[in-house]
Amino acid sequence: MLSRTADHLFWMARYTERAENTARMLDVNVQTSMLPQSDEENAQGWRALLGISELQYAFNQKYQSLEGREVIDFMVRDPDNTSSIVACLTQARENARAVRGTLTTEVWEIQNQTWLDMQRRLKSDLLETDPSKFFEWVKYRSHLSRGVTLGTMLRDEAVHFIRLGTFLERADNTARILDVKYHGGAAESGESMSQRDFYYWGAMLRSVSGFEIYRKVYRDVITPARIAELLMLRADMPRSLLACMDEVVQNLRAVRNDVSADTERFAGRLRAQLEFAKIDDILADGLHDTLTRFLADIYELGNRVSRDFLVPLAA
């Protein structure tokens, strides 16, 4: 496969997944902002979201105050924010269009129709009146894109690059969603967890489609330690870090070339660190520090994939 084609497929998937995960993070904040809290606590939650998304500086350059509505508008449709949901879905469509001949008709139609529907929805007042409904739509379209891809495309290199992009992006975003909690200042101990913390964690679990899974796996009260274990170390949890790295390693193996051995080893080592880790050791070392290192490693892994397979980055 031509590296340029692989590049478009990889980034089509990453942008689609990024839009979904931005919607998930925003929905957590919308839900938790409705809890009884001071204005400062509410602002702290939105500030944490901007910080973990690395958008605080860009936001401050444009807005004078920190209000939930302004953060939502900035992260959904601000034309100056290249990481907004609108920008991500637009870029996903543009990358799909560039490799239209590689995709099935169904996959292209999903990308194109999502972009068209987005324009109509943003012209309505849905984002202002019911932002959670808009975020659910973004998640649904992402689910639809993945399902149609697996249901209609030949399982060749094209699908492997799409899956590689999806799970690298998902690993990054799951780590960020979990890390938002530490910036948000929720209690770190399950024993001292307040009612606000309990609803916060419940909303966060729902944001990663993990609430029912948590109840099935643990059958007990929600605690931060178990949530961290579920979202990091459970290979059977679809959005966990370990599940994502399983997919990354598998798809890297499927597209290996003459120069990718070091990248495979790097990914395998990152996966092994999760597979053989214990949550008690991670918490003792500091969850925030562990997630920070993981995010740095995922960034490095993405650069290695680009170097070995995709269009080289401009100097």
pLDDT in tens, 1-41: 689 999 999 999 999 999 999 999 898 888 878 777 778 77
Closest CA to 96 of 121, 117, 114: 114
Report DSSP letters for 116-172, one per residue.
Answer: HHHHHHHHTTHHHH-HHHHHHHHHHHHHHHHHHHHHHS-SSHHHHHHHHHHHHHHHH
Same domain, 229 and 84: no
Which range of residues forms the domain containing residue 308? 157-314
Residue 280 pLDDT greater than 80, yes or no = yes
Distance CA 84, CA 73 (A): 9
Same domain, 164 and 144: no
Residue 73 pLDDT greater than 80, yes or no = yes
Same domain, 179 and 139: no
Same domain, 285 and 144: no
Same domain, 56 and 191: no
Total number of domains in the chain: 2
Least confident of 13-22, 45-54, 145-154: 45-54
Q: Are 107 and 141 in contact (CB under 8 A)?
A: no
Same domain, 207 and 71: no
Tokens describing residue 205: 């679990």
Q: Are 231 and 214 in contact (CB under 8 A)?
A: no
Residues 6+ apart with CB under 8 A from 44: 184, 185
Distance CA 170, CA 249 (A): 14
Same domain, 161 and 25: no
| Residue where a domain stops, chosen among 89, 122, 153 | 153
Tokens describing residue 122: 């943003």
